[in-house]
A = this chain, B = another copy of it.
Amino acid sequence: MTDDPWVPPVVLLAVDLVILTLRESRLHVLLVERGIDPYKGSLALPGGFLQHDGEDITAAAHRELSEEADLDVEALSLEQFGVYGEPGRDPRGRVVSVAYLAIAPRLPEPSAGTDAADAGWQSADSVLLGDLELAFDHRRIIADGVERARVKLEHSALATAFCGPTFTITDLQDVYEAVWGISLDPRNFYRKVQKTEGFIVPAGTARKAATGRPARLFRSGPCTVLRPPMTRPAEAASVKE
């Protein structure tokens, strides 16, 4: 064993995006089908390696976000929530992946029945509980990301990021119910949300559905931290419906 000067090992750095949205009042996550060989054909999170040596990690996450989904990147919430670098997780070598959580509002349908761009949205329940084949350790990353979203809904105004620019209180309640996987009392929810200063601000009256009283519209307010927080019921590990 010679006395070579020690040099630190290098790793490949990647970003993975857990992009969540609501579809039919259920939490969905954006997945893509891998086109190249490690796990080719399997579903995986959007993401990839740093593009060039000087690219910032957050910038890479934003870039992937605008590549994979073509969303208004600036308006989206995007937050780092974990690092995954277990030695064996990628057969190509030592890959360390920084995981980001993004929340997207319900997008307008790509076209008519064109679920080609739509194919990527998968129900979070089926991904987490089902036997869907996922690449790498992406099932765990999704689980961690969803859990992070659940916690953030308690303490921040993140829920409004699931909605469009304006929304009704019922829309907002749907977000909480879908992400937490439980049912909430509409009356208590209404009271709570209204009382929380700066969470949502009025934005006119809606002309919405076919039947029933029209709901008031709101847009997200200035406050990002909810005080007091939204309280998640104790049995919030049960599955909805």
Nearest B residue to A93 via CB reads: B53
Given A10-B10, A10-B12, A49-B8, is A54 in contact with B87 using a C-beta cutoff of 8 Å? yes
Q: Name, among A56, A85, A87, A94, the residue most crowded by chain B CB atoms within 10 Å (CB to CB).
A: A85
Complexed CA–CA distance, A240 and B120 (Å): 51
Q: B87 touching A9 by the CB < 8 A rule?
A: no
Once the chains bind, are A11 and B8 in contact (CB under 8 Å)? no
CB of A38, distance to nearest CB on chain B (Å): 13
Nearest chain B CB to A127 CB, angstrom units: 23
Asked if A96 is at the interface (CB within 8 A of a chain B CB), the reply is yes
Q: Is the CB of A9 within 8 A of B53?
A: yes
Q: Which of B14, B53, B57, B87 is in CB contact (< 8 Å) with A55?
A: B87
From A11, which residue of chain B is reached at the shortest CB distance?
B13
Q: Is B234 within 8 A of A85, CB to CB?
A: no
Given contacts A10-B12, A55-B87, A80-B83, contact A96 B94 (CB under 8 A): no
User: Roughly how many angstroms separate A20 CA and B13 CA in the complex, as a whole number?
Assistant: 29
Which residues from 93 to 118 on chain A have a C-beta closer than 8 Å to any C-beta of chain B? Answer: 94, 96, 98
- Specify which of B56, B87, B227, B234 is in contact with A56 (CB 8 Å cutoff): B87
Interface flag for A198 (CB, 8 Å): no
Any chain B CB within 8 A of the CB of A86? yes
Please give the residue numbers on chain A whose beta carbons come within 8 Å of chain B beta carbons, in ascending order: 8-14, 49-57, 80, 82-83, 85-87, 94, 96, 98, 227, 234
What are 30 residue pairs bridging A and B, where the CB atoms are less than 8 Å apart in the complex?
A: A8-B12, A8-B13, A8-B49, A8-B50, A9-B13, A9-B49, A9-B51, A9-B52, A9-B53, A9-B55, A10-B11, A10-B12, A11-B12, A11-B13, A11-B50, A13-B85, A13-B96, A53-B87, A53-B94, A54-B94, A56-B85, A56-B87, A57-B83, A57-B86, A57-B96, A80-B82, A83-B83, A83-B98, A85-B98, A227-B234
Which 6 residue pairs across A and B have the least CB separation, nearest first?
A8-B49, A10-B10, A9-B53, A57-B85, A11-B13, A54-B87
